[in-house]
Structure 1
Amino acid sequence: MSGSVPATGRPAPVGWDEAREAAHRAATPLRARQVPVAAALGSALAEPLHALVGIPVADRAAMDGYAVNGAPPWTVVASVRAGDGVPEPLRPGTACEIATGAPVPAATHAVLPYEHSQRVGALLSGDVEPGRHIRRAGEQCVAGEVVLAEGSVLGPAALGLASALGHDTVLVRTAPIVHALVTGDELLERGVPTAARVRDAIGPMLPGLTGWAGGRFDGITRLGDSHELLASALETIDADVVLVSGSSSRGPADHLRAVLEELGAELVVDGVRCRPGHPQALARLPGGRLLVGLPGNPLAAYVAFLTLALPAITALLGLPLPELEPGPALSGHESGHGSATRLLPVRVRGGELTEVPHSGSAMLRGVATADALAVIAPTGGVRLHPLPGASTGPGS
């Protein structure tokens, strides 16, 4: 797609890869700000994280025991715990009782663990290897070294690392705020579905999908099939990304495109040549907010989130568009499907793909048990799209 087109001149449906790229281009990285390390969970670094000091700062004991100098036996002349400061240097034939994490005295040859030592009064003996059980200064990193690249998403371990390196704050792009509008007169929020009413299966998916993508889910607003209600909601919701489920096709209850035109929105993607999920949309609302229109069928909505919402959230975090790993051929789909990209739930076992049953546009049973989505190009090539709960993915 060469560029976005105003809603009054609707763009033609685009290919699946083209749609992902358009969604990524449509989002501008959020403004960076300094936040306390403890408040940065899930945010993306807006600059590389450097080590303010080497870790460890000094040679430290890796075990509880004795720092020793020379050959046994040794005379225990001191004792040091973590936080006591650096003890006096050891002379040959002497030892210092030491706790894990405490700085070792200068001239320490090794640390002898308690369980490998024999001590009678001040006299100590045991077998040691030179340099054993000592954490050397700078062995994890040296001062000034880049330990996390710009764009790294900060998980619990990364926050601990930043703190250990001496950082009180970090410069990050905080998680984009995502709000969902779930539309449909037929939807039940609770209870058993009937012939006339169905349970909402899309709303419960969106918080998890958003968190996995790196966004912060702000909540769900439920609307009936109403042009006026949808327009009012879109004018008032304050979020970086607004998800609208249902109302994205062209039936009598589908008001999204008319509302977007009325609001003066810029329609960037209007339909994607993929199955399922063709009637999805991406628009830029006045003021810069992004809107992703999700089809009303659950698996189609799931696919549309991965196609448009995931790349947009990724770009807001200042991250590159996730690349997909190539996969083996999938039996029955070697030649592709004309002009449409197929996205099929699959299991991955022993380097082979098996299509999961129950993978129709309205079905979640298949994808709920899948390892990945097989992205089958119109020409038949296969790539694998990770899913939440798999070992890899945007939020991992």
Structure 2
Amino acid sequence: MSDLWSVDEHLTDILRAVRPLDPIELHLAEAAGCVLTEDVTAPFALPPFPNSSMDGYAVRVADVEGATEEFPAVLRLVGEAAAGAGAGELPAVGPGQAARIMTGAPVPPGAQAVVPVEWTDGRMTSHDEVDLAGEVRVFRPADPGQHIRERGSDIAAGSLAVAAGAVLGPPRLGLLAAVGRATVTVRPRPRVVVVSTGSELAAPGAPLAPGQIHDSNGPMLTAAAQRAGAVAYRADAVADEPATLRGALDDQLSRADLIVTSGGVSVGAYDVVKEALSQESTVEFRRLAMQPGKPQGFGFLHPGRVPLFALPGNPVSAYVSFELFVRPALRAMAGHPAERLHRRRVTARLEADAPLASPPGRRQFLRGSYAAETNTVRPVGGASSHLIAALALADALVEIPETTTEVRPGDQVTVVLLD
């Protein structure tokens, strides 16, 4: 292997090394965003009984046949079917009879359809205000089963409700609750600790001393980890002192499934991350054939073999590196299959005011703004890795291959969609 690692080689090495987290049982409220590791079948049908989809009246079809405004069907009320009523509480509907019924209420025995209250002269007011021993006039006919949700019309008993591998979003969690599950077995969301390094860093909101800048990587990478589906913690920035950094990293091991640092990975005299990880870790520092993000570190901390990503300190380099390498690793740890690890890529037409140069032998990732309606992408800002204001305007990366040194306006380019 050459001195430079390719983007693909580095990513392949990462995904070969990380492992999905062990499954655990969680309550539904804690399982949002997790990947299910078991098939869940419906122990009973949904709906479990025929019920009304409307407020109205439960009737026999023959009794309202031919009903019109001029010649309504006049039916005698025999009671009410309320939501939650048991079988013994439901009135039987015989010939010439009707029962008032609420949405979701069981259909009374003998009834074949529900006519909405708007088709009648009835009122869906409180029980005390309606004479349930009176009459109701129906102005339209009804077909068999009209406005009745049949038993099992949503899902049959014994059928698959949610398959293993599914990501548990709100609708799937709702379905799991509907089939009676209070807990599920899932792979947990990885816990990520983000640590910024650099004596020049001050906390956002703190006054800046001469030579200082605010820590932008910490909030940015923490948010990126959350967006990737992780539970993210941001630690305080650490000064350029190897022993202090190593102590800070060791302190975070109890709550970390993965650690991300930024800064201190190049070839300068104060590359604190390299020195701090020189012992009791397998972190390897590499140079990648990419721009931005050439210096990278990846390996495991001991004990516990917690994976650690050492990212460059410039904000654009850190963010691009996270999207390309850390995000797929997090999603692999969360149990996502290979096809769901990476950001979606599309081919789009480049809109630019002039040709864009790219260094030979380097895969370049330019920031861009993608327009789906025209399938075009326009570069945002320049190629420098400190331009965080331009990064904030980007929703895509323009990926230029190692073998391409120039792309022109109108060329087709690969676009990595970030949103």
Given the two structures, how large is their TM-score scaled by the length of structure 1? 0.86
Match of 1:42 in 2: 33
2:415 alignment partner AA? L
Decide which of 146, 152, 159 is 1:145's aligned counterpart: 159
Using the TM superposition, give the Cα deviation of residue 310 of structure 1 relative to its aligned residue in structure 2, in angstroms: 0.7
Alpha-carbon distance in structure 2 between the residues aligned to 1:336 and 1:56: 60
Residue 176, structure 1, aligned to residue 207, structure 2: no
SS at match of 1:180: strand
Question: Which one-letter code corresponds to 1:45 in the other structure?
Answer: L
State the identity as a percent.
32
Choose 82-91 or 24-33, whichever is displaced more: 82-91
1:311 shift after superposition: 1.2
Per-residue CA deviation, residues 59-78 of structure 1 (Å, 9 max, x unaligned), is 22111111221142233222
Q: Report whether the alignment pairs 1:100 with 2:103.
A: yes
Contact 1:333 1:376 in 2 (8 A): no
TM-superposed deviation, 1:266: 4.5
Q: Aligned runs of 1:106-125 on 2, under 5 Å?
A: 106-119=109-122, 121-125=134-138
Bigger shift: residues 103-112 or 224-233: 103-112
CA distance in 1, matches of 2:220, 2:360: 30
- Aligned counterpart, 1:83: 84
Counterpart for residue 4 of structure 1: none
Report the alpha carbon displacement of residue 113 of structure 1 after superposing the two structures with TM.
1.7
Q: What's the counterpart of residue 387 of structure 2?
A: 363
Match in the other structure for 1:386: 417
* Separation in 2, partners of 1:186, 1:89: 80
1:208–1:53 CA distance, 2 compared to 1 (3 A): farther
Stretch of structure 1 that moved more, 315-324 or 115-124: 115-124
Q: Structure 1 stretches (4+) deviating beyond 6 angstroms? A: 332-336
Amino acid at match of 2:361: S
Q: Deviations over 1:319-365 (max 9, x none)?
A: 12424332214356789653222222222222111112255311222
Q: 1:335 to 1:219 in 2, by over 3 A?
A: closer
Contact 1:179-1:220 at 8 Å conserved across structures: yes
Q: 1:336 to 1:26 in 2, by over 3 A?
A: same
Quickly say closer, same or farther: Cα 1:366–1:224, change in 2 above 3 A: same
Q: 1:18–1:123: structure 2 CA closer, same or farther, 3 Å change rule?
A: same
Distance in 2, matches of 1:343 and 1:89, equals 71
| Alpha-carbon separation, structure 2, partners of 1:233 and 1:308 | 23
Deviation of residue 274 (structure 1)? 1.8
| Distance in 2 between residues matched to 1:113 and 1:230, nearest whole Å | 70
| CA–CA separation in structure 1 for the residues paired with 2:337 and 2:359 | 28
Distance 1:128 1:362 in 2: 72
Is 2:164 aligned against 1:161? Answer: no
- 2:70 maps to none
Q: Give the corresponding residue for 1:58.
A: 49
The runs of 5 or more residues in structure 1 that have no matched partner are: 2-10, 391-396
Q: Distance in 2 between matches of 1:101 and 1:35?
A: 30
Of 11, 16, 24, which residue of structure 2 is paired with 1:20?
11
Cα RMSD for the two superposed structures: 2.6
The alignment partner of 1:328 has SS state of: strand
Q: Is the 8 A contact 1:336 1:379 kept in 2?
A: no
Q: What TM-score does the superposition give when structure 2 sets the normalisation length?
A: 0.82
Task: Give 1:165 shift.
Answer: 1.5
Contact 1:358 1:364 in 2 (8 A): no
Aligned length: 378
Q: Distance in 2 between matches of 1:249 and 1:193?
A: 25
* Aligned position for 2:231: 216
Contact 1:178-1:241 within 8 A present in 2 as well: yes
Q: Structure 1: how far apart are the matches of 2:331 and 2:15?
A: 7
Q: Distance in 2 between matches of 1:136 and 1:20?
A: 51
In the alignment, structure 1 residue 327 sits paired with structure 2 residue 327: no
